[in-house]
Copies of this chain bind each other. A is one copy, B any other.
Amino acid sequence: MRILLVEDDVVLGDALVQSLVNATYAVDWFRNGKEGMLAAQMQIYDLVLLDLGLPFLNGFEFIQRLRNGKQPVPVIVLTANDNPEDIVRAFDTGADDYLIKPFRLPELTARIRAQIRRVHTHFSSKIAIGELELDTKERMAFIKGEKLSLSPREFSLLETLSIKFGKVVTKDALIESLCNWDQDIGTNAIEVYVHRLRKKLADCNVTIANIRGLGYMMEQQTHG
């Protein structure tokens, strides 16, 4: 875990670095906003600890620039000023948390842990096969980044084939993955859907191959 500390007070900064290193964080300490911003742009940090009253580039501007650069890194603001308006402003600018000096170290580390934990708890569910991309959570498909318009059934079928990429899936298996237990559709329905999918996958290096008598298999076309 790497932390960017931007704090002009030498005494506090020194103490913080020592404590954080002690808590097994990697810390980069800068004494003004300009240098800190440069660092933030060069290096990916897991967290930013930011003093609001900085020389050259104040805390609010710092957060704003960071967010303008679409950096979602969590920011904890440190301030001697307990003016509620400052705090509200810091939050609205994009800060994630704040601490009023003087603060206790365990509280700081607890808040750092809370912030870092939060960032690391979200994950996506995307499948990429050649030029084809699936987002199974959003239930959307893309070819070379362009959105593909699919009906629910079409997506489900594509999803099943993608998950078993390179393996044969029988029609019966496809029927089961599409339908509820009580429903009963003919194998012809699958053939129809495969046909519809193939049309839509025409501009893409992914194809649905038929294995006669067995089922279907998704393949990636090696160019040539």
Chain A positions near chain B (C-beta within 8 angstroms): 64, 67, 72, 74, 84, 87-88, 91-97, 104, 106-107, 110-111, 113-114, 117-119, 121-125, 137-140, 151-152, 167-168, 211-214, 217
Contact = CB atoms under 8 A, between A and B. Distances in A.
B124 A93 contact: yes
Contact of A84 (B106, B213, B217): B106
Given A91-B113, A212-B151, A140 B168 contact: yes
A95 B123 contact: no
A125 B95 CA distance: 11
B72 A137 contact: no
A134 to B, nearest CB: 13
Given A84-B106, A111-B91, A114-B96, A168 B138 contact: yes
A137 B92 contact: yes
B124 A94 contact: yes
Nearest to A106: B88
B67 A95 contact: no
Nearest to A94: B124
B67 A88 contact: no
A99 to B, nearest CB: 11
21 contacts: A67-B122, A67-B124, A72-B122, A87-B107, A87-B110, A88-B110, A91-B114, A91-B125, A93-B124, A94-B117, A94-B124, A95-B114, A96-B114, A96-B118, A97-B97, A138-B168, A138-B217, A139-B168, A151-B213, A152-B213, A152-B214
Contacts of A113: 91-92
Contacts of A211: 139-140
Contacts of A139: 168, 211, 214
A163 to B, nearest CB: 14
5 closest residue pairs by CB, A with B: A72-B122, A91-B110, A91-B114, A88-B110, A94-B124
Nearest to A89: B110
Contacts of A217: 138
Nearest to A88: B110
Contacts of A64: 124
Contacts of A87: 107, 110
